[in-house]
């Protein structure tokens, strides 16, 4: 199944943490593409440093909940502590979309409920997949255009 994963970090050594997360993802999945790194301002939460963000596309046969648990395991291995909602983090791995799975359970929400509002997801995703389509909201290029227009 095609997995779209958003990566972000803003404390410790963010670039190194993302590189380490990608290395661990390569061990667990078949990485198809990785975007460039983007520096972005934090969204919500307390005052904190800017983030380094990227998006990866991978193939996996894992069930969606197992894939999400694998991402959480990588976060934990890289020192992620879930203490402050939208707070600073050593690494953040969000499962944006997994195949054509739609889920709104407490443990697994797919596609990611705010992906269509996040430039730091849409821009790197579009870079590596120009025909990308967010299941619940449409083409990523159109979503990004609308978001950029709303920021003006």
Q: Is 26 noted as a catalytic residue in this protein?
A: no
Identified catalytic residue from 50, 82, 92, 139: 92
- DSSP codes, 8-51: EE-SSSHHHHHHHHHHHHHHHSEEEEEPPPEEE---SSSS-PPE
Q: Is 92 noted as a catalytic residue in this protein?
A: yes
Identified catalytic residue from 26, 82, 94, 141: 94
Identified catalytic residue from 89, 114, 139, 152: 89
CA distances from 121 to 9, 40, 118, 133 (A): 13, 10, 5, 12
Identified catalytic residue from 19, 66, 80, 129: 80
Q: Is 119 noted as a catalytic residue in this protein?
A: no
Q: Is 89 noted as a catalytic residue in this protein?
A: yes
Provide the annotated active-site residues: 80, 89, 92, 94
């Amino acid at each position: 199944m095609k997995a779209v994963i958003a990566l972000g970090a803003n404390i410790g050594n963010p670039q190194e943490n993302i590189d380490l997360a990608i290395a661990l993802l390569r061990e667990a999945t078949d990485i198809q593409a990785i975007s460039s790194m983007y520096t972005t301002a934090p969204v919500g939460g307390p005052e904190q440093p800017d983030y380094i963000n990227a998006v990866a596309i991978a193939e996996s046969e894992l069930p969606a909940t197992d894939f999400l648990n694998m991402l959480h395991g990588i976060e934990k291995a890289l020192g992620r502590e879930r203490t402050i909602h939208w707070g600073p983090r050593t690494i953040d791995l969000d499962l944006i979309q997994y195949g054509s799975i739609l889920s709104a359970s407490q443990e697994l929400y797919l596609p990611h409920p705010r992906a269509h509002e996040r430039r730091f997801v849409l821009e790197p995703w579009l870079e590596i997949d120009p025909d990308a389509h967010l299941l619940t909201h449409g083409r990523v290029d159109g979503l990004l255009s609308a978001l950029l227009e709303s920021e003006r």
